[in-house]
Amino acid sequence: MTKTRGIYIHIPFCTGKCFYCDFYSVKANENLMAKYVSALKCEIRSSAGKFSEAVADTLYFGGGTPSLVGAERIAEIIKTVKDCFPAAFGEVSMECNPQPDIDYAAYRDAGVDRLSMGVQSLDDETLRLSGRRHSASEAAEALERAGRVFGNISADVMLGLPAQSVRSAVETVSRLAERLKHVSMYMLKLEKGTALYKSVSEKTVSLPSEDETVDMYDACMAELHKKGIYRYEISNFAVKGFESRHNLKYWHREEYLGFGAAAHGFADNIRYANPRSLNAYIAGLNFASGGAESYAVSSEDAEEEAVMLALRTDKGLDVERFNAEFGSDFFSRFSDAIEKCRELTEFDGRFFRIKPRKLLFESYVAREFMR
């Protein structure tokens, strides 16, 4: 069987910073974007020889807001990837945000076949208090226009945002489910250093409680199920057959190359990351496969990673595959952890998984499998 890999490309530009966001991003600027994309192409070319033995079968543009660099540059990048690696893409995803001026067809023509739209909420008050730069109707309109071009669109939704209620969250996913095949639903994690963290600690903004947020999650999941959109990972829901092939690689512990500032990769048993700094990246300092960190995964760590990642999925860990890959016996290797988590897990003869109603205790279970 031919070896395959995913490719992740990081585009760290945004038009502004959402109040909850603690990712590395830089204000979009034509000059900087031009330099960045040329550095990106340079990095891709430089690793061609090293990794060209495997077929690139998924491509993912993440960010930031990758669409900001424009369809032309996206096309150039895709072309560069195809020039450098044997490619048979089953999925080319790109993240974007609802912007009135996007020419969706241009991205389709560039080679993108799946969009992931940052909607977050279809409630104007919630959007405003979260620092989103679009209204609910603009988001709906963007999805409408994109839907005329793309058959595979996902929307990101967040739960636990300011002014959000169970009702408004359910209404948001309900409207999305009517036209989409995929929804990602993330419970907000309030990060230090964000604008939202500041206003929450100053008590100018209040957030739904943890319990309310879990209520939102349960209610939204039920609503999605009603519409035929099923959970396949803690935060990801799709119509059968529309699961993200690229993201599944992460949870199946398959390989992926990462290009761009702050991008992470995993290949030949090495996990690596590029430096976060855009300027350092553009200057070509230490980029290419692990300028910031790089380490070989020990066999013990590899087993733990495999379990930790697979337990995030509804399907669970393929025990046969695990045993074959690591030459060990899952049930005896982790007998203590399995015993401790008996109430929370189940085994169907092939897959070991967290019970569907207990999936939100994933970290609790995964901890038991760590040394």
Partner 1 sequence: MNSRQSSIRNFCIVAHIDHGKSTLADRLMEFTEQVSKRDMKEQLLDSMDIERERGITIKLTPVRMFYHYKGEEYTLNLIDTPGHVDFTYEVSRSLAACEGAILIVDATQGIEAQTLTNAYLAIDNNLEIIPVINKIDLPSADPDACKKEIEEIIGLPADDAPLISAKEGINIEAVLNAVIEKLPAPSGDESKPLRALIFDSTYDNYKGAICLVRIVDGSVRPGTGITMMSTGKSFECTEVGVFTPEMRPVEELKAGDVGYIAASIKNVKDTAVGDTVTATATPAPEPLKGYKKISPMVFAGIYPADGSKYNDLRDALDKLSLNDASLVYEPEASGALGFGFRCGFLGLLHMEIIEERLEREFDLDLVTTAPSVSYIVNKTNGEKLEVENPSHLPPPTEIESIEEPIVKAEIYTPPEYVGSIMELCQEKRGTFVDLTYLDQSRVKIYYTIPLAEIIYDFFDSLKSRTRGYASLEYEPEGYRADSLVKLDFLLNGETCDALSLIVHKDKAYARGRSICERLKDVIPRQMFEIPVQAAIGSKIIARETVKALRKDVLAKCYGGDITRKKKLLEKQKEGKKRMRQFGSVAIPSEAFMSILKFDDKD
Which residues are within 8 A (CB) of 73 and not within 5 positions of it... i.e. 6 or more apart? 33, 37
Which residues are within 8 A (CB) of 43 and not within 5 positions of it... i.e. 6 or more apart? 259, 260, 274, 287, 288
Q: Is 258 in the site for partner 1 (CB under 8 A)?
A: yes
The tokens for 120 are 């977050």
Q: Given candidates 312, 318, 333, 353, which one binds partner 1 under the rule CB under 8 A? A: 312
- Nearer CB in complex with partner 1: 104/304: 304
CB 142 within 8 A of CB 99: yes
- In angstroms, rounded to a whole number, what is the distance separating the alpha carbons of residues 292 and 249? 23
What φ, ψ does residue 88 adopt, rounded to 5°? -140, 80
- Please state, as a whole number, how many other Cβ atoms lie within 10 Å of the Cβ of residue 89: 19
CB of 154 to partner 1, least distance (A): 13
**Per-residue x/- marks for partner 1, 42-71, CB under 8 A?**
--------------------x---------
In terms of C-beta density within 10 A (0-12 exposed, 13-18 middle, 19 or more buried), how is residue 172 classed?
buried
- Nearer CB in complex with partner 1: 3/179: 3
Q: Which stretch binds partner 1 (CB under 8 A): 139-147, 161-169, 259-267, 282-290?
A: 259-267
Q: Is 45 helix (H, G, I), strand (E, B) or coil?
A: helix
The tokens for 166 are 């169970």
**Per-residue x/- marks for partner 1, 231-250, CB under 8 A?**
---xx-----------x--x
Q: Given candidates 196, 308, 317, 338, which one binds partner 1 under the rule CB under 8 A? A: 308
DSSP 178-220: HH-SEEEEEE----TTSHHHHHHHTTSS----HHHHHHHHHHH
- Nearer CB in complex with partner 1: 173/262: 262
Q: Given candidates 87, 105, 166, 187, which one binds partner 1 under the rule CB under 8 A? A: 187
Q: Is 164 in the site for partner 1 (CB under 8 A)?
A: no
Q: Is 287 in the site for partner 1 (CB under 8 A)?
A: no
Q: Give the total of residues touching partner 1 (CB under 8 A).
A: 41
Q: Which stretch binds partner 1 (CB under 8 A): 34-42, 173-181, 255-263, 315-323?
A: 255-263
Applying CB under 8 A, the residues found at the interface with partner 1 are 8, 62, 186-189, 210-211, 214, 217, 234-235, 247, 250-251, 256, 258, 262-266, 271, 273, 293, 301, 304-305, 308-309, 312, 359-364, 366-367, 370-371
